[in-house]
Amino acid sequence: MRLDKFLKVSRLIKRRTVAKDVSEQGRVLINGRESKPSTSVKVGDEITIQFGQKLVTVRVERLAETTRKEEASTLYTLVKEEPIPKDNFL
């Protein structure tokens, strides 16, 4: 599954176009590597996303083409959430 679609389906990012923009800006890493919107996501991958002044890292638990709002969080497990200094952005 494409990175931008996973971010949208899992509701980590609300819209696919926003997920695409965020990945093109270099604010999304898969297993520590900068990733494009079309990068393939697999079960077990760790995705790190920069949201403003914090980094959120999740592990992909399963993939689904669509999901209900209540089930979206079952697609991933939160690994860590940490603030980042203003001068240390990705």
Domain containing 49 equals: 3-88
* Structure token pair of residue 60: 């992909």
Kindly report the pTM of this predicted structure: 0.88
Number of domains present in the structure of the chain: 1
The C-alpha atoms of residue 78 and residue 51 are separated, in whole angstroms, by: 14
CATH number of the domain enclosing 59: 3.10.290.10
pLDDT tens-digit readout, 16-32: 999 999 999 999 999 99
Does residue 52 have a pLDDT over 90?
no
State the DSSP code for 5.
H
Q: Percentage of the chain with pLDDT > 90?
A: 90
What's the pLDDT score for residue 84?
81
- Do 6 and 28 meet the contact criterion of CB atoms below 8 Å apart? no
Share the mean pLDDT of the chain.
92
